[in-house]
Amino acid sequence: MLGDMNVQTPTIRTADDFLRWNEGRAGKLEFVRGRITGMMTGGSRRHAELFLQLAFLLKRDLTDPSLRITAADYAVRTPVGIRYPDVLVHRDEGDGRDLATGEPLFIAEILSPSTLATDFGEKAAEYTALPTLLHYLVLSQDEPRAWLWRRDETQAFGSPEMVAGADESVTLDGFALTLSLAELYRGIA
């Protein structure tokens, strides 16, 4: 729900209707189960720095030229609508003017007090239902701590693995990549 926001919307019935309507619009909105919902804006400096550091490390370390690392302005089509994850890895597709991908390989969200339940609940369920997704990563902005959902040998997602401490790392098997929490959180927490 948009809460106190007074936004006049045309009839939006599909994810494509929403993407066309939302393109270039100020503010952060998502489309979930046929409803336009507001997202948190104005995150903390830690959130912004962690977001950039993760995107930078992925851009540096993922050497496959067919992979694209995008951020909060590029959408993911989920089984129930449109989400804008903090960081996203997907294959190069379309002509560059696309507004969303339905085939993400990696999605990351950075926790804030107002997104905790959504990131671990609704979004985890929506993202892990995507057949192409290899990893869903949730990061704490307050300390070196991460939760990683990954596909197992049966291609199913189990419970998230929690990793905490600057001496720890997160292994993204689908990319043969290990992210050091010390490097990820350097100068942040």
Domain carrying residue 120: 43-184
Tens-digit pLDDT profile for residues 16-52: 777 777 676 666 777 677 777 776 555 788 888 999 9
Please give the pLDDT value at position 73.
80
Residue 38 lies in a domain: no
CATH number, residue 85? 3.90.1570.10
Residue 33 lies in a domain: no
Give the Cβ contact number of residue 9 at 10 Å.
12
DSSP category for residue 12: -
Q: How many CB atoms lie within 10 A of CB 72?
A: 17
The answer as to whether 171 is a domain residue is: yes
Strands 67-71 and 29-32: unpaired
| Residue 82 vs residues 52, 94, 116, 152: alpha-carbon distances, Å | 22, 18, 19, 26
Per-residue pLDDT of the chain (189 residues; tens, 9 = 90+): 444 444 555 677 777 777 777 676 666 777 677 777 776 555 788 888 999 999 999 999 999 999 999 987 888 999 988 898 999 999 987 777 788 899 999 999 998 877 787 888 899 999 999 999 999 999 999 999 999 999 988 889 989 999 999 999 999 999 999 999 999 999 985
Q: Is residue 153 a part of any domain in this protein?
A: yes
Residue 9: inside a domain: no
Is 14 a member of any domain?
Answer: no
The answer to whether residue 131 is domain-embedded is yes
Question: Average per-residue pLDDT in the chain?
Answer: 85
Where does residue 48 rank: exposed (0-12), middle (13-18), buried (19+ CB within 10 A)? middle
Residue 125: which of 163, 83, 174 has the closest Cα?
A: 83
Position 1 scores a pLDDT of: 42
**Domains of the chain: total:** 1
Handedness of CA 126, 177, 100, 30 (dihedral sign): positive
Q: Is residue 18 part of a domain?
A: no
pLDDT at 6: 46
